[in-house]
Amino acid sequence: MSIGEALRLAQDAELDLVEVAPMARPPVAKLMDYGKFKYESAQKAREARRNQALTVIKEMRLRLKIDPHDYETKKGHVERFLKGGDKVKITVMFRGREQSRPEMGYRLLQRLAADVQELGVVESNPKQDGRNMVMVIAPHRNQAATDAARRSAKAEKASATEEQAPSA
């Protein structure tokens, strides 16, 4: 229909004439309450932002000649991060002549990945980056989803207790 006729229909219905697909032939327009539409789309965007999982990358740095007890401590930190649903970037730092033995750093990272394989999966294999060798381990997908759900439930519970508290 003509633009004038569509505008008259919109005025009669007390609505707005909104162009939906301007590149289509002929262009497509819709009768709607534009303010209400913008408000609802903002609400949907806010809800989607609230529900999205925030990916956090924690970093753990190791040296090539690490003591067994220190290794166990670092491994415990990596396990804690993975249980929390966070990705872990593990960096092995080489100094001096250690740089000529990257295979030892590779073996150390592989050992760590094998030790935490029930909690996470290697997302990016070890690769040399200058003086460092870097590997990223991500939590298993189903665990990450349950951890995100647990976090959102905890946040909702905290906001509910804030609302119930009397304000002074």
Residue 98 lies in a domain: yes
Note whether 25 and 73 are same-domain residues. Answer: no
Residue 41 lies in a domain: no
| Closest among 127, 85, 87, 130 to 110, alpha carbons compared | 127
Domain residues for 24? Answer: 1-34
**What per-residue confidence (pLDDT) applies to 166?**
57
- If one counts the domains in the chain, the total is 2
Residue 163 lies in a domain: no
How buried is 143 (Cβ within 10 angstroms: 0-12 exposed, 13-18 middle, 19+ buried)?
middle
Give the 3-state secondary structure of residue 132. strand
Please tell me the distance from the alpha carbon of residue 168 to that of residue 166, in angstroms, as a whole number.
6
Global model pTM greater than 0.85: no
Note whether 29 and 76 are same-domain residues. Answer: no
Show pLDDT as tens, one digit a residue, over the chain (168 residues): 788 888 888 888 888 888 888 888 888 888 888 888 899 999 999 888 887 777 789 999 999 899 999 999 999 999 999 888 889 999 999 999 988 989 999 999 999 999 998 988 998 899 998 899 999 999 987 765 566 666 666 666 666 666 665 554
Instruction: Kindly give the residue spans of alpha helices, DSSP state H, lying in the chain.
Output: 3-12, 34-51, 68-83, 102-115, 141-164
Please tell me the distance from the alpha carbon of residue 71 to that of residue 104, in angstroms, as a whole number.
15
Residue 100 lies in a domain: yes
**What per-residue confidence (pLDDT) applies to 55?**
75
Residue 155 lies in a domain: no
